[in-house]
Amino acid sequence: MTNFNERTIDEIFQELLLEKQTLSSLNGLLPDGITDENSLITALTNGKVPEWVLWLYNFAVATNITDISTSTAVIEIEDLIENQIVPTSRWYIKKALEFQYGDTLIIDPTTYQVTYNPVTEANQIIGSCTTLEFSNKLVLKVRRIDTNILSAGELTAFVSYMNKVKSAGTQVEIQNFAPDQLTIYMTIQYDGNLDLATVTSDVEVAINDYIENIQFDSRFISNTLVDNLQALSGIVDPRLDSTSAKDTLGNDIIFTHEYLSTAGYMEIDPLFPLSTTITYQAV
């Protein structure tokens, strides 16, 4: 919440008195020992005070009223924003990640939002989500934590959850696919003084790490993979000979520079493991 600085009358009054002291044109006006609200009250009780001091005090009172009004307005506006359902793509992604399998949804009596109480992160099983509007539908592409694929029961519960939290009239489609399968043929020249088994292990770990850490529903970039391999100790020249993919629908795609998966994530095709598709040349 915004931290609005709501000042007291005395704080404003003292600020005005200090500011007056910085103005050379007002040096002739003497405050007669008045430095704050208490000293002003004492001076009024005992006698007279300069008129300009009263004007400053009146201005401090008016400013304090404005501060109070502004502070109240800020709180009310932030409450409205916090309780406002804004069904944007980012909102749907947030709600998808909040799904708790096995827990009961409740309706907040104040905001009327559908939520969980308590929030149990251990039961939140959606690890990644992106959205796409297609044919008057909102398509949510998701990946489950750990296992990638939702079980039949989990998928049914997740679909039911999204239908309850979605905006009225919105059609939601859930996509949860097995990973696209990559086949990568490479020729890698390496320092011949190094142990081939160590080089092989380092290369395969680097390739799998790169693929696994690609942001969900983002592109495989061939040059980025080559750069990562080039950074390995002892690698002289990593060359991509050919790259292809099989998407979750069974389509075979040959690509050179980049690839955007259908499932949102990918892995090396187990039928074509890196141990069989990479040729090592000692130099």
Q: Please name every residue paired with 124 in a beta bridge, in sequence order, or none if there are none.
A: 100
Alpha helices in the chain (DSSP H): 9-21, 37-46, 51-83, 89-97, 152-165, 196-212, 222-230, 274-277
Alpha-carbon distance of 53 to 55, in angstroms, equals 5
Q: Taking residues 134-150, what's their average pLDDT?
A: 93
280 residue type, one letter? Y
Residue 196 binned pLDDT confidence (cut-offs 50, 70, 90): very high
Q: Taking residues 44-73, what's their average pLDDT?
A: 86
- For the cut 80, the answer to whether the pLDDT of residue 205 exceeds it is yes
Q: Does the model's pTM come out above 0.75?
A: no
pLDDT tens digits for range 221-232: 999 999 999 999
What is residue 81's predicted lDDT score, i.e. its pLDDT? 63
User: Residue 27 has which token pair?
Assistant: 């040096």
CA angle 280, 260, 278 (to 5 degrees): 10
Q: Average model confidence (pLDDT) for the chain? A: 89
